[in-house]
Structure 1
Amino acid sequence: MIDLSSVDKKRLAGCVIGKNTKDLFLCVGGIHGNEREGVSALENVINNLKNHSQDINGTFVGLRGNLKAINEYKRYIDYDLNRIWRKSFIDKIDDPDHIPQYHEEKELKGLYKAIHTIIDSFKPERMFFLDLHNTSSPKGTFAVSFSHNIQNKLNKNLKVPIIMGMEKALEGTLVEYIESIGYHGIAFEGGDLNAGTAGQILESGLWIILNTMGFIDSENIPKYSAHRSFLNGLVSGFPLMNEVRYVHKIDGTEDFKMNPGFMNFQNIKKGDLLANDNKGKVIAPCSGVLLMPLYQNKGQEGFYIIEDLTKVSA
């Protein structure tokens, strides 16, 4: 029996049951509270799917992430909710003696309970998970998956840059946790959170990913061709298959300041001056392609350097 009554109504963005309940597509928006565009895109897609449930090859469930941070329009309150999906935190969820140190531990518990309630209710034979995000710098439209099979599917159909090796660069992400419990997860970045197109990018990406994973046929997606053309235009000329080579980790004590003017997928050379902190200049340790230069106050990574794998294989 499907029962989602225990899921916080503020967290549940919506549920649309399609032609079968064997396949489940679970999507989260707003795990970072200042990325509200993910919540809006999620809600827009749900509202559309409600009128076409007979066209869905499975069930679609949407969840809101960091509720308090969304309400306050902050990336997080005390700690990044997308960095605490680790055993040390998860093991404390049902510990009655544990006193939370961070607000995000409460959000972790709420989201964890919601995810497992949904999985336990539907008992899917197949589940895909999608985490919607935005960057703080321009031209940041790309996808992350840990599965080679999913990476290949996204490369063939979504046709935006795919970033591999992120599981080695980051710990405690929700996608990593989903993979650890036996399901496939995807993170989709919808460009600059300050750009007026951020919500549209995420909505287009969500529709195309739903199609890529076999949950809805292209002819049943409103303005499918427009979504595809829009995304393809955003990433024209960008490398489509990439791997993480370096992550500049920060903890908030360095007074890290990215130099102005950098953007995602910008080519850089070893020795380029990228940022400054309280120790002085921050120099690129290797040549490559810049990803997610940090232009907001909160964050645990100053920038990434990735390698264009199409050049390596050429």
Structure 2
Amino acid sequence: MQIPGVPPADLPDLTRAEDRISFIYLERAVIHRDSNAITATDDRGIIHIPAATIGVLLLGPGTSVTHQAIALLADHGATAVWVGERGVRYYAHGRSLAASSRLLIAQATAVSHRDRRLAVARSMYAMRFPGEDTSKLTMQQLRGKEGARVRRTYREHAARTGLPWNQREYDRDDFAAGDPINQALSAAHACLYGIVHAVIVALGAAPGLGFVHTGHERAFVYDIADLYKADITIPVAFDVAASDSADIGADTRRAVRDRVHDGAILTRCVRDIRALLLQPQPTGTIDEDDALRLWDDNDIEIPAGRNYAGGAEDVDF
């Protein structure tokens, strides 16, 4: 029987995650579909955004999205993330671009084995200290080393911009309660979390299975985002706070967008996640094999879609 509706795009036809626009934030608009484009309509008019070019669509307050728009995003492997005012709260996200569970299995295996988890955590810290040997450091030593690096980064950018800096302090429930630099940091980090979350979900990994962070639904998001804050969001936040911005949330989002507009963060994020989770390092595309199989207790995999009770009619579904 022919299934009604527009058929989804074939996986080989989809734009790879690292080749897409990092994120697009929309608020107070109606989100709909026009052919293969997402449309956003407000009192200023309509804009068209090709669905295949979107990494993550951040849906802020006042947005109304149609079923057709979400179906189009899903068909093209784009992730929709529902966020709060200024993008600083996360509520929900859409589907994955991946058709294979290879990264997810590798992630679950590594995080469930103490030595493998420690190796991945050490690799994450090693990315922040190029040229230094972190292979023998304990997690306590690594946390202390990272803490000193972050404090030094804050002091350097405070000196560069001439802003007074005390400490990272913010209220999750009251964005405006923080001083300008803390507001800018919160807004910038929220954008980065959205980008990283979208890449993790698009690749088929689990946002909640972290190696350094743990116990939170976005623990792995925070793990990966911490790799890029010193290069992206911290300098952007200090620049915005030093500019006497009248709307720090909006100005910071635009500044982060401009900083990552070339898509390099997506390429870097995809590369780093694969390097951390897959050993030895793979070659080729991310989803090399999307065949559905059944696990066997002899540590093998057998074809799915069959009835193993025997007989002539062995197709199960």
Fold equivalence (TM over 0.5): no
What TM-score, normalized by structure 1, do the two folds share? 0.26
Q: TM-score, normalised by structure 2?
A: 0.25
Larger Rg: 2
- Larger proportion of strand: 1
